[in-house]
Amino acid sequence: MKNARIAIFASGNGSNAEEIIRYFKHHPTIDVSLLLSNNPDAYALQRAENNNIPSKSFDRATYKETTLLLDWLSEANITHIVLAGFLWLIPDYLLKKYPGHIINIHPALLPKHGGKGMYGMRVHEAVKTAGDTVSGITIHLVDANYDEGKVIFQATCQIGNQDTPEQIASKVHALEYQHFPRIIESWIL
């Protein structure tokens, strides 16, 4: 396969983005080439800078009403988009430009605890409230709806009765770091 170039979309801290950047740092055919954020204060932008990855931020109007993001992606020769804690619904123009080439990770076992507004600690609190004994991650293709794209991979962790939402989050983060970069690699290759 010719070289793949990834753009990571992130809204917050960027710990998954940094794991992905590290994983592909010396990869022979896959390169993390750009990080985009809808939050100008996202620590993910600093993580990109620390790793010499070009980054840009944008606002909702730019995202929904212009094609500036397409220009940025084109300039960087992006072939694949990875959502790593990105909270906005992907617009049609990106879905059309990158069909089957946008992937997301969700911090629960979809279809449970997914959909609009289900992100971060909200997901882990919902898992706790539901009394689930198992949680995990879902890596899926992105379509026009939140968390409904074709599932590529799931991994699970046990949840104890005494586990707090914070402890559940810690278990789920460990799965994200362990699996997401490797699944991105196998998806691309």
**Residues 110-131: b if buried by 16+ CB within 10 A, e if exposed:** beebbeeebbeeebbbbbbeee
Q: Which of 80, 106, 113, 140 is catalytic?
A: 106
* Strand partners for 9: 36, 83
> Does the annotation count 173 as an active-site position?
no
Contact 175, 162 (CB under 8 A): no
> Distance of alpha carbon 5 from its chain centroid, rounded?
15
Which positions are catalytic? 106
